[in-house]
């Protein structure tokens, strides 16, 4: 009797031969995401405004990294990014990781409308427009994956750290993910959201320089600490790869138990 073939449970997590576009890839979690996806075999089109940092990332990783200067609030930049990604892929982009984001912690009653609009423009409008541009060819090819990097603060309030615009924009991303996941489910395109909790990143750097903020997170989070960037690697690869082929319209929250309280 022939023995059954061995199963490689890690094989579906590989991204060999695939092209992945990552926005906000110049620093913080975005740079980490680019490295992780590259390490899984993907060709990474790394996009951000600070192209010198992208060049440094490409020089560090070697081949299979394509830096593209892009401001996600500028439509011409998004069109060019989608076109360059498709050129690298030789057709439809395989995976889009919408990671670019900003936030300005401040009381809602005094938040300038210009800053509220800026946060929504980056975190929501730019994300939707790029997804729209990339999804057309994906739908035509009947294959593709979108991973929206939202936040646990798209599911719960941030207070006592006051971030009305950030919470509003990330909450919108969470529900947009549900809608797009359902709209495109029968068209071969999966859309899911990765919702990190408190992680060290360029945007949260000021928190970790403040003793009271550090104490707030460590005393309130069920796991008693902030997350380490590598603790998002598995969740990102799960959503971006064939390991999650029956998952769409969902949010995967990695927050040390914060939203479970």
- Do 252 and 193 meet the contact criterion of CB atoms below 8 Å apart? yes
Q: Cα–Cα distance between 53 and 163 in angstroms, integer?
A: 28
What residues contact residue 192 under an 8 Å CB cut-off, 6+ apart? 145, 146, 147, 148, 177, 181, 239, 244, 247, 248, 249, 250, 251, 252
Point out the residues that are catalytic. Answer: 166
Identify which of 117, 183, 197 has the alpha carbon closest to the alpha carbon of residue 149: 197
- Cα separation values, 258 from 60, 151, 158, Å: 35, 11, 11
- Cα separation values, 179 from 139, 193, 250, Å: 15, 12, 10
Q: Cα–Cα distance between 244 and 206 in angstroms, integer?
A: 35
């Amino acid at each position: 009797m022939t023995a059954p073939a061995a199963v490689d449970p890690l094989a579906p997590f590989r991204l060999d031969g695939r092209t992945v576009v990552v926005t906000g890839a110049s620093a913080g979690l975005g740079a980490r995401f680019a490295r992780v996806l590259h390490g899984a075999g993907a060709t990474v089109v790394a996009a951000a405004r600070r192209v010198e940092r992208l060049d440094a990332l490409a020089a560090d990783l070697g081949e299979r990294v394509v830096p593209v200067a892009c401001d996600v609030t500028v439509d011409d930049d998004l069109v060019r990014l989608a076109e360059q990604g498709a050129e690298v892929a030789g057709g439809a982009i395989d995976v889009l990781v919408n990671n670019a984001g900003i936030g300005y912690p401040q009381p809602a009653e005094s938040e300038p409308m210009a800053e509220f609009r800026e946060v929504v423009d980056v975190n929501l409008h730019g994300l939707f427009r790029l997804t729209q541009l990339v999804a057309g060819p994906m739908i035509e090819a009947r294959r593709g994956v979108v991973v929206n990097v939202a936040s646990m603060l798209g599911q719960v309030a941030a207070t006592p750290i006051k971030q009305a615009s950030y919470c509003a924009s990330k909450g919108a991303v969470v529900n947009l993910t549900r809608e797009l996941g359902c709209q495109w489910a029968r068209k071969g395109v999966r859309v899911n959201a990765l919702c990190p909790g408190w992680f060290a990143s360029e945007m949260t750097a000021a928190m970790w320089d403040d003793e009271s903020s550090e104490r707030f997170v460590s005393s309130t989070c069920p796991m008693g600490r902030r997350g380490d960037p590598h603790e998002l690697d598995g969740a990102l690869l799960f959503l971006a790869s064939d390991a999650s082929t029956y998952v769409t319209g969902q949010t995967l929250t990695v927050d040390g138990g914060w939203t479970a309280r």
